Amino acid sequence: MQLLGICAENELSIDNKETHRAFILLARQLFNPSNKAKVVVCFCQGETVGGIFKAMTDLQLTRKGYMLIGSDGWADRTDILGPVIDEISGERYSSAAAQGGLSIRIRSKSLPEFNEYFMNLTPQKNTWNPWFKAFWEQKFDCSLNASVHSSKKQCADDLTLRSSTFEQDNKLGLLNTSIYTVALALHKVHSIVCGEGFVGVCDGFLPIDGDMLRSEILKTRFYDSNGDLMYFDKNGDPPGSYEILNYQHITLEDGTLAYTYKVIGWWRSGEVWIDPSNVQWPVTPITKVNENDTEEEILNYNTLATSRCSEPCALGEIKVVKQRSKACCWICKTCLPNERVIASDQCEKCPLGYKPTENRTECTKIEPIYPHWSRPLPLLSIILASLGVLLTMFGLSVFLIYRNTSIVKASTRELMYVMLLGMLFAHASNFVVIWKPVVIGCLLSRVFPGLAFSMLYGALATKTNRIARILEGSKRIYLKKQRFLSLTAQMVITALINLVEVTVVVVMLLLEPPGPELRFFNSFTMARLICNTTRNGTVIPLAIGMILIVVCTCYAIKTRNLPHNFNEAKFIGFTMYTTCVLWLAILPIYLGGYETEFALSMAVSLSATIAFLILFIPKIYIMLLHPEKNSRSAFVTAKDIRCHIGVLQANISPKHKNGPRTRESNTATDLTSLEMEQGVPKKQENSRKIGFFKRNVRPAKFKKPPLKREITPFDDAASQNSIQVPLSEPKTRVTSRLVKQIWLSKNPASPKDKHDAFTQTRWSLLPSVNAGDATIAESEDDYSSDFHLDSPF
């Protein structure tokens, strides 16, 4: 069996003369529930098959799905199934155990002529057969020569074989063929030795030469009574011809149940044929489909019997035999995704760029995938980017139309334009990502995100830095003007930040030239056409933007306690907090490596959208829907104004040599003048009187006494009190302490004013572009609209 590639879970043997107890032990070994085998092949005599069936019946192993396949020793014998227990159906003791079993029977055609010949034989006619008389006496249980002392009766003269039951043996046809074969061989030997046409036995014929007879037998070729060609192969074997029988429990035409053998196929000279529709397989333990099924209906539901040590392997799997002695027992091993199956036990890798077909037997070329707008994620990216571009263009248009209004000027419009341009670059990065990867597209995908961040957050960091510096300066009196607070300085700082970003991007492009490449994944069975951007090529240009986000966030936290007048600082804080949360959510997706290019571009676009919604929408709302708030007077709503006067410096303008010259002072002169022009509320409760200084200097040729500076309270137009402060020529230094002493001498403070002056400790700085060294502190009360430090106030 091993040579034929057949394995068995158990191989046992038993003598046909063994006791019933031995067959019981054998059955327990064969039909152990732990065994996977359900089919038993028995190369044995009929008595051995009968012993196994009887043991199965006694152990109640019938209808458990077990199946027995017997050799021609079983064939179509019914006597081995035990005694008859039902005369009508022909059921025997072991019929249920044998139901569904298969056996083979040598194919032999019945000989009707022999039946006629045999029926006419009698002891008187058949005198040449010495065994015929014994057969006759056994058949009829009588004696041909009975004596007085014999226990058997004398056989009657009218006895014939026709009066008894006779069934021709199924091997009789083979016997007839064998005799005919030997006869033809003897005739051939006779013709060779005696010559053709010689009648009788010639000299030299006897004794017969056995080698010559065997040689002629092997040469014999003729058609037997079955119509099959009779011959011998090189091994001296005749062609095999067998019928395959199935022991079935069937319903006869009259409706009764019966057990019988049924021919379901044949085997001839190595060819086999079976009609599966005629096979009745053993009944399995679960037989009822419905509760009302009868036994006859249950038998129609049987299924194919299976007996496997291992189940067949699926597509893409190979067999790994556990034991060489058992070729049918294996484990299934899955080939790698990029391997094809070239044999039942061998895998082979496909070349790079190829993958196995669906049946895993061939290799086919991989079609690379790349971003396309028809896919859900790119489509969502395009929609969000398009909306972002439209919003940004709308905001830019509004800011250009209202560029000369107070709210735009107060927002440092030049920096706002830079931020809007950065937002356009941020949204444009989404469109670059969905292109089929080419050199120019890969280049832009590495330039746009970093440049967008540097423009957006570089300008925002410049603004927040200026706010923080001025807030820090509000806690002290500066004798000199703080540096880098002008518009030009802010634009230069923003440009330098972007220059650093551009430099980093250019260096990375030189180190890692952009271009498309195929990147294989899913065990080399799929390929994606992407840009050859490494993690460093993406992260390093964005690092500057990340640093700027951190800087803006820190400044937003630092300036969070500004009075509510300066609510743009709060908007900047909201923007940065939301941006940080967004990037904390996007970071795991990006580091996870799935759709990184879309995650990055959408994060950049969403960052720009957040900044636009929080920083620009409130201003656009005022400009379009509440234009009455878009005025300079709307920004000056504080109840308390304090002035700390630093160095008063009279500078003679060289532009007017012949006419009157005005002495320009870096004080709060212009600020307080503008406050009166814009209508500072009068007679406000708890207001503190303060004056503004204005001095005109006549030409130097007039000799005048030293000028006196008039301090007029702007918050009380009816007040006639004034203070004359003498100023020396060309320069007079007036300290804040002197002004305070003069003021208090004319306006003694009440106890309530002293308490208010003592408790008011938090100040906010509001420098003017033209304010010079003056430092004006505003209270935290009642700023009803946006106010930015770039305002003239």
Residue 592: band (very low, low, confident or very high) from pLDDT cuts 50, 70, 90:
low
Q: What would the pLDDT profile of 546-585 be if each residue is shown by its tens digit?
A: 999 999 888 888 877 765 555 677 888 888 899 999 988 8
* Contact by Cβ (8 Å): 607, 425: no
Of 34-43, 166-175, 605-614, least confident by mean pLDDT is 166-175
Residues 295-300: contacts with CB within 8 Å, 24+ apart?
295/257, 296/251, 296/257, 299/249
Please tell me the predicted confidence (pLDDT) of residue 693: 37
Residue 332 is given by DSSP the state E
3-state secondary structure 220-279: CCEECCCCCEECCCCCCCCCCEEEEEEEEEEECCCCCEEEEEEEEEEEECCEEEECHHHC
Q: What is the pLDDT of residue 109?
A: 80
Condensed to tens digits (0 to 9), the pLDDT of residues 602-642 reads 888 899 999 999 999 999 999 999 888 887 665 554 444 44
Q: What's the chain's average pLDDT?
A: 76
What tokens were used for 770? Answer: 């033209």
**Closest among 693, 689, 651, 699 to 672, alpha carbons compared:** 693
Which of 605, 615, 549 is CA-nearest to residue 395?
A: 615
Question: What is the structure's pLDDT at 701?
Answer: 44
pTM of this prediction exceeds 0.85: no
User: Is the pLDDT reported for residue 315 higher than 70?
Assistant: yes
Contact 239, 268 (CB under 8 A): yes
pLDDT confidence of residue 347 = 92
Residue where the block lists tokens 């790994």: 320
Hey, what amino acid is at 248? Q
Res. 696: pLDDT tops 60: no
Res 733 pLDDT > 70: no
Distance CA 615, CA 659 (A): 49
Best CA proximity match to 638, nearest among 585, 714, 574, 565: 565
| Structure confidence at residue 145 (pLDDT) | 82
Region for residue 701 given its phi and psi (left: phi exceeds 0; alpha: psi -120 to 50; beta: otherwise): alpha
Nearest partner of 562 among 483, 468, 482, 687, judged by Cα: 468
The residue with greater pLDDT, 687 or 83, is: 83
Q: Confirm or reject CATH 3.40.50.970 for domain 379-625, answering yes or no.
A: no
Per-residue pLDDT reduced to its tens digit, 391-448: 999 999 999 999 988 888 888 889 999 999 999 999 998 888 888 888 998 899 889 9
Which of 318-322, 458-462, 482-486, 747-751 shows the lowest per-residue confidence on average (mean pLDDT)?
A: 747-751
Residues 6 or more apart from 501 whose CB is under 8 A from it? 450, 451, 453, 454, 458, 541, 544, 545
pLDDT in tens, 706-719: 444 433 333 333 33
Residue 273 banded pLDDT, cuts 50, 70, 90: very high
Residue 673 pLDDT grade (very low, low, confident, very high; cuts 50, 70, 90): very low
Say if residues 442 and 514 touch (Cβ distance below 8 Å): yes
Sign (positive/negative) of CA torsion 781, 785, 790, 793?
Answer: negative
Cα–Cα distance, 9 to 692 (Å, whole number): 113
| Predicted pLDDT of residue 538 | 83
Which of 139-143, 147-151, 331-335, 571-575 is predicted least confidently? 147-151
pLDDT more than 70, % of the chain: 73
Q: Are 105 and 245 in contact (CB under 8 A)?
A: yes
pLDDT at 691 over 60: no
**Residue 748: pLDDT band with limits 50, 70, 90:** low
The CATH number for 20-107+240-299, chosen from 3.40.50.1100, 3.40.50.360, 3.30.420.270, 3.40.50.2300, is: 3.40.50.2300
Confidence of residue 730 (pLDDT cuts 50, 70, 90): very low
The DSSP result for 539-552, as a single string, is HHHHHHHHHHHHHH
Please give the residue that has the higher pLDDT: either 417 or 6: 417
Indicate the length of the chain as a whole number: 793
Per domain, the residue ranges of the chain are 20-107+240-299, 168-225, 317-365, 379-625, 637-778
pLDDT interval class at 253 (50, 70, 90):
confident
Kind and range of the H or E run holding 519: strand 516-521
Under 8 Å between Cβ of 361 and 341: yes
The encoded tokens of residue 171 equal 């091997």
317-365 folds as Tumor Necrosis Factor Receptor, subunit A; domain 2 (2.10.50)
User: DSSP 3-state assignment of 493?
Assistant: helix
Helix ranges, 359-438 (H) = 376-401, 406-410, 413-433
Residue 737 has pLDDT above 50, yes or no: no
Q: Which two tokens stand for residue 107?
A: 């194919």
- Distance (Å) of CA 411 to CA 398, 569, 579, 619, 671: 14, 11, 21, 9, 19
Q: Is the pLDDT of residue 17 over 80?
A: yes
Q: What is the pLDDT of residues 355-390, one digit of tens each?
A: 999 889 899 999 888 877 777 878 888 888 999 999
